[in-house]
Amino acid sequence: MILIIDSGSTKSDWLAVDSDGNKLMDKIRTKGLNPAILNEKKLQKRILKSKDLKANKDKVTHVFFYGAGCGTDNAKQLLSTVLKDIFSNAHVEVNEDTLAAVYSTINTPTEAAVVCILGTGSNCSYYDGEILHQRVISLGYTLMDDASGNYYGKQLIRDYYYNHMPENVRIAFGAKFNMEPDFIKYNLYKQPSPNAYLANFAEFMFLHKDSEYTINLIKQGIRAFVTNMIMQYKDELKNVPVHFAGSIAFFAQKEIKEVAVEMGFTVGNFIRRPIDGLVPFHTKNL
C-alpha cells in the first residue's frame, strides 16, 4: 500500500493506492499536519485518529508526504520521525507542498520547468530537473498572492463596494453572497483563515465569464502574477514551459494562454488538484 498525502495547516488529504495506481480505499481526510506549528504528540494523534490509517498502518510500504510547514530540515525531520514510527514498514519521504505541484505537472522526473500554483494562494518556482529554486519568498495573502483565489475575492469585494462592477454583475454578486459590511469584517478580522474566506468569492468569476468585466479581472490578476513571479525566471523561460496547478489556474486556462501569448512564455500542463497528478508520478517511479 502506497500513501500519498497533500497537507495544509487545516486539513490533509490521503490517497491509498497499489503499485499500479489503483485506489485501495476512499480518500481519507485528517486535520492538517504542519510540523512548523504542531509538536510530535499532536501530529501523531491527528494521524491515528483515522481508523482506516490505524487499521492499515502495517500494510503501508511507501509514504510520500507533501505539506505546508515542511520547508526546513528540522520540520521535515520531525514529521519523518512521526510517520516512520506509525508506518514502521514503510519508506518515508517528506517534502514541501510546492514540490507536489512540480511532480504532478512535469512530464518526466527530470524535466525542467517553471511551475506555478494558483489556488487559494499563489506561488511560482523553477525546477531544474533535480532541485527547486524559488526567487521570491511569499509574504502571504495581504501583500502578495497575485491571481490567487484570495486575490480575486479581494478585488471582487472592492469593486462591489466602489461601484466598479457593471450593474447586472453587481446584482448577481450581491444575490450570491452576504455583502453586509459587518459580516465581511467579522470574517476578515475575527475568524480564522481570512484568505480562504476571500477565496470563496473567486468562483463567481468563472460562473460569469460571459461578462467583459470578469474576463478583464481574471486577466488583470494573471498579468500581475506573470510580471511579479513568472518573469523572475526570464532566462529560464527561453527554454522551458510554464506548468500550472490549482483550481484558479485550471478554470482560467483560456485567459492564461492568451496572456502567455501577450507576454511571451510557453504554457505547459494544467492540473486542478496536485494530489491526483502525484499518483502516476510516484507509481511510475517507485
Residue 38: which CATH number? 3.30.420.40
Find the mean pLDDT for residues 163-177.
97
| Helix 73-86 × helix 40-48 angle, to 10° | 40
Residue 134 lies in a domain: yes
Q: How high is the pLDDT of residue 180?
A: 98
Q: How high is the pLDDT of residue 273?
A: 87
Number of domain units in the chain: 2
Residue 269 lies in a domain: yes
Find the mean pLDDT for residues 251-260.
98
What are 205-217's pLDDT values in tens digits?
999 999 999 999 9
- DSSP bridge partners of 63: 3, 92
Question: Does 286 score more than 80 pLDDT?
Answer: no
Residue 155 lies in a domain: yes
Residue 138 lies in a domain: yes
Residue 283 lies in a domain: no
How many helical (H) and strand (E) elements, i.e. helices and strands, does the chain have?
Answer: 13, 10
Query: How far apart, in whole angstroms, are the C-alpha atoms of residue 135 and residue 235?
Result: 13
Same domain, 223 and 134: yes
End-of-domain residue from the set 57, 74, 98? 98
Q: Which of 33-37, 42-46, 83-87, 162-166 has the lowest mean pLDDT?
A: 33-37
Find the mean pLDDT for residues 155-176.
97
β 122-127/2-7 pair status: unpaired
Same domain, 252 and 142: yes
Find the mean pLDDT for residues 125-148.
92
Q: How high is the pLDDT of residue 223?
A: 98
End-of-domain residue from the set 34, 67, 98? 98
Determine contact, residues 147/256, Cβ cutoff 8 Å: no
Question: Does 9 score more than 80 pLDDT?
Answer: no
Question: Does 137 score more than 80 pLDDT?
Answer: yes
Secondary structure class of 107 (helix, strand, coil): coil
Which residues does 244 contact at the CB level (< 8 Å), separation at least 6? 105, 115, 116, 117, 118, 250, 253, 256, 267, 268, 269, 270, 271
Residue 172 lies in a domain: yes
Residue ranges making up the domain that contains 53: 2-98
Other C-beta atoms closer than 10 Å to the C-beta of 226 total 22
